[in-house]
Chain A
Amino acid sequence: MSPSSSIAAEPGAVPAPDEHHEHHPSYLVDGTTVKSWLLTLDHKRIGVMYLIWVLLFFLIGGIYALIVRLELLTPGPTIIDAMTYNRAFTMHGVVMIFLFMIPAIPGAFGNFMLPLMLGAKDVAFPRLNLLSLYLLLTGAFIAIWGMINGGMDTGWTFYTPYSTHTTTTVAPILFGAFIIGFSSIATGLNFIVTTHTMRAPGITWFKMPLFVWAMYATACIQVLATPVLGLVLLLVVGEHLFHFGIFDPAQGGDPVLFQHLFWFYSHPAVYIMVLPAFGVMSEVVAAFSRKNIFGYRAVAFSSLGIAFVGFFAWGHHMFVSGQSTFNAGVFAVLTMLVGVFTAIKVFNWVGTVYKGAVDFKTPFAYFCGFLYFTVFGGMTGVAFATASLDVPWHDTYFVVAHFHFIMVGATIMAFMAALHYWFPKMFGKMYHEGWGLVSAALIILGFNATFIPQFLLGNAGMPRRYYEYPERFQTLNVASTAGASLLAFGFLISAIYLTYALVYGRRAASNPWRSRGYEWMTESPPPTHNFVGPQPTYSEEPHFYVEPQKAEVPDAV
């Protein structure tokens, strides 16, 4: 392939000409009634609505997190009673996992970017796409209704037999999560079909952007794992109402079987959250290093590898819950394989940055934080996969800190990086770069300050989900709460300057990052049907940058 082959709609470094603008308004202003937004079939508007809602759910989950952290400020009761505390950490988990991390990147950025990256006008099933948003909202409102009217104290894992006997409001919250599962399946199904059938000429499988590969792997997990969760949630609701005893040892049932079925979904669900993050970072690292991604096929295949191996690692959640030692050994080995595939990605990202012409903008700052959280969280993960090490650490704050590092840290970093990287694409406005870097620094520091003390607490033996703790743990708990405040402050700054940019920000160029990603080959914000004039031809690789040294000569920054 010759590097000089033409790109029909190459916007280049200069703002795209505005001459088509009169006839082809951007998707944001093409129809301004409320109905034109709420009943839209345009994947971009659905993506924006997803973005608004997941940010709201993130706020709710974050408030619960702050309540939990404030309660743990002192060894005894601080602001709430023990039962409210149990409800608060359960709701923090349920909201953050089912309403923020699972739908966030696929729903908001996947919906918006996938068709653009494939040169398509829309996803394969636009109506199903809209339905998935409303299923999410229906499930969310049922679950939140349940949280307000009673709440639940089981933890987000709903372990039986406690969840079938607790007097708190189990049924609506689990039923809400069941409906959210349908939304997740609909999104995944849509993305798989879109990737198979909607690719524009020239975009072969190995010329798809890496974000698409990651979304494809995510969608496979969503389609294959979520139905099992749906069944399990229905069974728990049934158990709670009728006490069939399938998972109740008092009636001859096996609670470990519940854990098998639950983690058959919920462990792959971790990769539903983190694979899109890997995809975003593959895009960001290439764009801001001004280098083609190092080892494209390795990164693409490792997404599928994580998706497959991640399915057969679920038993590492059950090392101390009565599972056989034989299974523990098998699952320990399979879990470590996930680390191999993740390491392949990490090395390729680092190889991409190496000798690149790094443009240290806000998304790249988040990339650095992401790399740190992935490596540290991932390495504690490999330690956890060793069954003998897991036994003393199990159900301590070490687990909490570990999964917040790898799962939450990586996903939040990627979500923020995607929000900043694609902000000009989605809204056609630029945010303030200085404030972006300041808040990125605060968020990364705050995250460390929150969870490094929790690593130490867990290693010292403080169990998770406890309302009270001995005096000697107080210093670290105060440090963790202070870190959480810093984290919240960082997000507050982001919210302020991004909202300001949305209203008063200066108009962004079509391709302010001079990225070679396919999604930047149309205007920013894109017109309703994504392209004006002839369909672009995609003759180059998705992250094709000429040698960075040479590239910097004609258009140095």
Chain B
Amino acid sequence: MSAMANESFKEDREMRQEHHSGPGKYVAVWAALMVLTLVTVFTGRMHIPTGALALALVIASVKGALVALFFMHLAEHQGASRLVFATSMLFVVLMLLFTLFDIGTRFRPALPSYSTPEEWPVQTRGQSGRYGGELKAPGTNPK
């Protein structure tokens, strides 16, 4: 069986450069994660009227970044692994955005009944009646 060679020299080189990090870093990350958890619980209990969820998600993203970068060693790995992780995150965000765009700008009667949607910064003509007015009486919808 003949020896095989691969083109992936670059990955090969990265592997050798990978340094062995001490437990100190893990302890520091662990402590930061614990503190951030307590911070998010504290701010969550305050029930801030606007932006509470945004703040909670920012803290969660910082925590998630710490886990991915240091516990999962993404900070040390170059190239493909980072690309995979970043791409998956990008697609999650885009999937969220496009569905929220829809539900935020949709013609109101096409939303589930009894829903009380939050205010949306963008107003489109479709949200109210066809000619910019309010909803028409039942049975008079345009054909």
Asked if A pairs with B, the answer is yes
**Which of A's residues lie within 8 Å of B, judged by CB?**
120-121, 196-204, 220, 224, 228, 249, 252-254, 256-257, 260, 264, 311-312, 314-315, 322-327, 330-331, 529, 531, 533-535
Q: Considering only CB atoms, which chain B residue lies closest to A203 in the complex?
A: B7
B94, CB-defined interface residue at 8 Å: yes
Chain A CB within 8 A of B88 CB: yes
B2/A228 in contact, CB under 8 A: no
**A217 shortest CB reach to chain B, Å:** 13
B105 close to chain A: CB less than 8 A: yes
**Which residues from A are CB-within-8-Å of B126?**
324-326
Q: Are B113 and A252 in contact (CB under 8 A)?
A: yes
Q: Is the interface of B mostly helix, strand, loop or mixed?
A: loop
Closest Cβ of chain B: how far from A311's Cβ, in Å?
Answer: 7
B4 touches A326 (CB 8 A): no
Query: CB of B26 within 8 A of chain A?
Result: no
Assess the B102–A224 pair: CB atoms within 8 A: no
Q: Which 10 A-B pairs have the closest CB atoms?
A: A199-B7, A325-B126, A322-B110, A326-B105, A324-B105, A324-B106, A327-B102, A326-B124, A260-B99, A201-B5
Q: Which of A254, A256, A260, A327 has the most CB of B within 10 A?
A: A327
Question: In the docked arrangement, what's the CA distance between A249 and B114, Å?
Answer: 11
Q: When chains A and B are docked, how far (Å) is the Cα of A331 from the Cα of B91?
A: 16
A257 and chain B: residue at smallest CB distance: B99
Bound Cα distance from A326 to B110, whole angstroms: 14
Shortest C-beta distance, B31 to chain A (Å), equals 33
Distance in Å from the Cβ of A159 to the closest Cβ of chain B?
15
The CB with the most chain B CB atoms within 10 A, among A264, A324, A330, A535, is that of A324
Complex CA gap A296/B81 in Å reads 26
A-side contacts of B106, CB under 8 Å: 256, 322-324, 327
Give me the interface of B with A, judged by CB distance under 8 Å.
1-8, 11, 80, 87-88, 91, 94-95, 98-99, 101-107, 110-115, 122, 124-127
Contact of A254 among B1, B5, B111, B122 (CB under 8 A): B111
Q: Which of B4, B6, B102, B125 contacts A256 (CB 8 A)?
A: B102
Residues of chain B contacted by A252 (CB below 8 angstroms): 112-115
Q: Smallest CB–CB gap between B105 and chain A, Å?
A: 4
Point out the residue from A197, A249, A327, A533 that lies within 8 Å of B113, measured CB to CB: A249
Whether A324 contacts B6 by the Cβ 8 Å rule is: no
Bound CA span A260–B2, Å: 51
Closest to A330 in B: B101
**With A315-B102, A322-B110 given, is the CB distance from A196 to B5 under 8 Å?**
no
- Using A196-B11, A322-B110 as known contacts, say yes or no to A254 and B103 having CB atoms under 8 A apart: yes
A-B residue pairs in contact (CB < 8 Å), sample of 14: A197-B8, A200-B6, A224-B88, A224-B91, A252-B115, A257-B99, A260-B102, A323-B102, A324-B106, A325-B105, A325-B107, A325-B124, A326-B102, A327-B101
| Residues of chain A with a CB closer than 8 A to B98's CB | 260, 312, 314-315, 327, 330-331
Contact of B107 among A203, A249, A324 (CB under 8 A): A324
CB A158 to nearest CB in B, in angstroms, measures 18
Q: B95–A264 contact, CB under 8 A?
A: yes
Q: Which residues of B contact A253 (CB under 8 A)?
A: 112
Bound complex: CA A264 to CA B5 (Å): 39
Contacts of A202 in B (CB 8 A): 7
List B contacts of A121 (CB < 8 A): 4
Q: Report B44 CB to chain A, min CB distance, Å.
A: 25
A196 B80 Cβ-Cβ under 8 A:
yes
Most chain B C-beta atoms within 10 Å of own C-beta, residue among A203, A220, A256:
A256
Q: How far is the CB of A172 from chain B (nearest CB, A)?
A: 28
Q: How far is the CB of B48 from chain A (nearest CB, A)?
A: 27
> B4: which of A120, A249, A314, A315 is its contact (CB, 8 Å)?
A120
Which A residues touch B5, using CB under 8 A? 200-201, 535
Quick check: A534 and B114 within 8 Å, CB to CB?
no
A70 to B94, CA, bound (A): 44
**Cβ contacts under 8 Å, A200 to chain B:** 4-7
Which A residues are CB-close (under 8 A) to B99? 257, 260
Alpha-carbon gap, A224 to B92, bound state (A): 9
Task: Kindly report which residue of chain A lies nearest to residue B99, judged by CB atoms.
Answer: A260
How many Å lie between the Cα of A314 and that of B97 in the bound state? 13
CA–CA, A315 and B4, complex, Å = 47
B101 near A324 with CB under 8 A, answer yes
Q: Across the interface, do B11 and A224 meet the contact criterion of CB distance under 8 Å?
A: no
* Chain B residue with the shortest CB-CB distance to A227: B88
Q: CB-CB < 8 A to A220: which residues of B? A: 87
